[in-house]
Structure 1
Amino acid sequence: MVLSARPLLDIQADQRLYLRRPIHDQIIWLVRRNSNVLVYGDRGSGKTTLLRAITYDLRNVGEDACFIESRLAANPLDFLDLLITRLSPTRSAIEYGAYRGQYFAERWPPSQWRNNSGTMEILERFEILGDILRERASKGPIVLCDEVASSDIARNLFGRFRDNLWELGITWLVASSKGELDGFMTPPADVFFAKMVELPPLTAAEQDELISLRIDSVQRLVSVAEISAAEFPNLLAPIDGVFSPSDPDPPDTITSPFAGSEGSNPRRLILAANELFIQGVDSEARSSSYESRERLILELGRPAVQLARELEALGSASASDTELQRRLGWSRSRIVQVLKRLEGKGLVK
């Protein structure tokens, strides 16, 4: 028996594991009426699973829904190329390259290509997208973008090139972590989305239902609602940590981030329940070990705390990992320096 914390896909087999919350139908109502929606929440709050489930439902009612793994795009050009690939998967690389060459030749002399390549290439992508959408011979698609990789991409695409996006006739449903919201909130990007929706924390009843859905058995193993208020924080603290890197000052003592069973997010809940109820890990020993580790991290100072939190979020990473560098805003040498301090305490391998 296994509990899986992976994001669900937009396929029928995964929909039986999906916890359908009221926000699901509210968002579908909005995007089917051509309203651009921005969904945001903490890491592990279920944004990817929500977008995948909405994609599945939209396709089932005949909507032209396209899911994009936006985190794969390192810049606005990557994002638009990814969108082109998803909307026109049959367009060959040769056709695409020939189109690009023709586009440049018809609009600008070669002497200008080098000086304005960034803006020109972005405008080129919009021209190609316009042609692709006209070829589809259907009303504008609904594009669901999971986790735009950076504030810079959001600021440029939904701000600087906002009007170009509007002209495509696409309805957008975009998911963002709270840490990247500033890119969407900076004018003129702030008026692109008709609705901004924060994913609410799971209620106790929703936690109970989510665990029951993910248990790979017809017989329920445990009811989350039956876990005492004193036991549940000990279960979740090792998964979530005690504070986030955005907090102004680290706390002096270890405290649970939750009150009873309220406030947890799906990923932390499933991982914690899997360890306690499936693997049989002793909750008190697990909590004690975690608290000792947290105290060691706190003693090393805020930089160590920031790096530790990002490593937990990414799963594993090295100092050369560009995503880790971007999240922290640090150079490789800075990451190496702080990693050595963590390694010295036996906190990372």
Structure 2
Amino acid sequence: MLLLSQRPLTASDADNRLFANRSDELKRVCRALDLGLNVYVWGARGTGRTSLLHQVQRLRPDSRYVRLEGYKNLTERLDEVERVLSGKRRLQRQQRVSRPSLLDPFASTRDYELRTVTVAEDPVRRLRTVAGVDSGGPRPVVLVDDLSRSDLHEMFGRLRDNMWELPIQWVVTGETAHLSPPADTFFDLSVELPPLDQVGLAELLQRRAASGTPQEQSLLLTSATPALETIAPCTPRRALAVLRDVYLSDDATELTDELLRVQTARAHLKPTANKVLEALMAHGPAHAGDERLLAEVGVTRSRIVQVLAVLEAEGLVSAERVGRRKLYAPRSASLGRGHAGAAAS
């Protein structure tokens, strides 16, 4: 079966055969771990950060993968790391919680329920215990996926010295290229995952084509090679979206021509406009005040409004009125995130 999904690759044998053009970065990470170093891996969404961590996990089965996106605060993130290392959550106990009644103001003094609450405790100290300090054994490796700039600073900057004392090696991924002090000194090695060039895209195409039947392989190679040449360099996620669109298209030549037109138009755009377009391509439609869009591009809302107007005039995005806001999306189907929502990051 032809495998063109944009989902992250796992540590399985089948997915290992699909892992393309990141062997140098993988070797650097593993060599750093052999030296006992902490590693920070960065790149835009869609460059394959999650897939790389799972390949590290494949080569080091004793490592533990954890995704901390969505946790509310530092304590919850450290608690999840503890759970991954030990298989247990922090200590809990039963506590009496009163149930006041609106009809009887004195009911709270005699009416209560039992509720499970978390014991207040230093989460870093618990991690130190779980990691087996003074055990004499090898330090566990924790693979932390997709931390935001602020979470990176809080976890490995504000608590840098505490985290240094833990008998744990860390491989952490994020989008930001430069970490703020003192988090920058926590990591001994920084590894970039750049967009794939034509050589990398060709390898990705060959690996995906090899997953299909001989007929599927021939059709994909014939139709997709010209298309991929028009979008290099780009992320693996976008490349897979193009592969799928080309394979499903009734007219691959027309789609390739459209991709070439878009790439030519983008060559004349300013960097901020390209950043906005990349964000829309990666995350889907957004309005000018979208917090994720503002954070990723790093400019004001008024600047985003100006840039979106330029992109709309160039025919690169379309706008739809939704209530009092305009929702912007890549105009060409081949520019979108693939409509499936799975991320290859």
Q: TM-score range by the shorter chain?
A: 0.5 to 0.7
Distance 1:302 1:16, change over 3 A: closer
Task: Name 1:181's counterpart in structure 2.
Answer: 177
Aligned AA for 2:282? Answer: A
Q: Does the 8 Å contact 1:205/1:225 carry over to 2?
A: no
Q: Does the 8 Å contact 1:4/1:214 carry over to 2?
A: no
Task: Name 2:282's counterpart in structure 1.
Answer: 313
Trace 1:1-349 onto structure 2 (pairs within 5 A). Answer: 1-19=2-20, 21-59=23-61, 64-91=62-89, 94=92, 100-101=119-120, 103=121, 124-134=122-132, 138-148=137-147, 150-177=148-175, 180-182=176-178, 184=179, 186-215=180-209, 216-219=211-214, 220-221=217-218, 222-223=220-221, 227=225, 232-234=228-230, 236=231, 258=232, 263-285=233-255, 287-288=257-258, 309-315=278-284, 323=292, 327=296, 342-344=319-321, 347-348=328-329
Q: Distance between the aligned counterparts of 2:223 and 2:24, measured in 1?
A: 20
Q: Does the 8 Å contact 1:146/1:174 carry over to 2?
A: yes
Q: Distance between the aligned counterparts of 1:304 and 1:343, measured in 2?
A: 19
Q: Distance between the aligned counterparts of 1:331 and 1:78, measured in 2?
A: 31
Q: Give the C-alpha shift of residue 165 in structure 1.
A: 0.5
Q: Does the 8 Å contact 2:82/2:88 carry over to 1?
A: no
Q: Give the C-alpha shift of residue 217 in structure 1.
A: 1.2
Range with bigger deviation, 33-42 or 301-310: 301-310
Q: Give the C-alpha shift of residue 272 in structure 1.
A: 1.1
Q: Distance between the aligned counterparts of 1:174 and 1:140, measured in 2?
A: 16
Aligned AA for 1:196? Answer: S
Q: Does the 8 Å contact 1:211/1:224 carry over to 2?
A: no
Q: Distance between the aligned counterparts of 1:78 and 1:92, measured in 2?
A: 10
Q: Which runs of 5+ in 1 are unaligned?
A: 104-123, 237-257
Q: Distance between the aligned counterparts of 2:48 and 2:65, measured in 1?
A: 15
Q: Does the 8 Å contact 1:68/1:146 carry over to 2?
A: yes
Q: Distance between the aligned counterparts of 1:197 and 1:323, measured in 2?
A: 24
SS state at 2:69 partner: helix
Aligned AA for 2:283? Answer: L
Range with bigger deviation, 39-48 or 87-96: 87-96
Q: Distance between the aligned counterparts of 2:35 and 2:328, measured in 1?
A: 50
**Structure with the higher fraction of residues in helix conformation:** 1
Q: Distance between the aligned counterparts of 2:279 and 2:213, measured in 1?
A: 37
Q: Distance between the aligned counterparts of 1:282 and 1:152, measured in 2?
A: 43
Aligned AA for 1:181? Answer: A
**1:253-305 per-position Cα deviation (integer Å, ceiling 9, x unaligned):** xxxxx4xxxx233222221122113444434356549968x98xx99x99998
SS state at 1:18 partner: coil
Higher gyration radius (CA): 2
**1:13-70 per-position Cα deviation (integer Å, ceiling 9, x unaligned):** 42232225222122111112211111112221111111111112100xxxx3111113
Q: Does the 8 Å contact 1:35/1:194 carry over to 2?
A: yes
Distance 1:269 1:214, change over 3 A: same
Q: Distance between the aligned counterparts of 1:44 and 1:218, measured in 2?
A: 27
SS state at 1:342 partner: strand
Aligned AA for 1:208? Answer: A
What is the RMSD computed on CA atoms of the aligned residues?
Answer: 4.3
Aligned AA for 1:17? Answer: L
Q: Does the 8 Å contact 1:2/1:278 carry over to 2?
A: no
Q: Distance between the aligned counterparts of 1:38 and 1:28, measured in 2?
A: 12
Aligned AA for 2:11? Answer: D
Q: Distance between the aligned counterparts of 1:197 and 1:305, measured in 2?
A: 23
Q: Does the 8 Å contact 2:49/2:173 carry over to 1?
A: yes
The count of residues paired between Structure 1 and Structure 2 equals 289
Aligned AA for 1:342? Answer: A
Q: Distance between the aligned counterparts of 2:50 and 2:329, measured in 1?
A: 28
TM-score by length of 2: 0.66
**Structure with the higher fraction of residues in strand conformation:** 2
Q: Distance between the aligned counterparts of 1:201 and 1:8, measured in 2?
A: 17
Q: Does the 8 Å contact 1:275/1:281 carry over to 2?
A: no
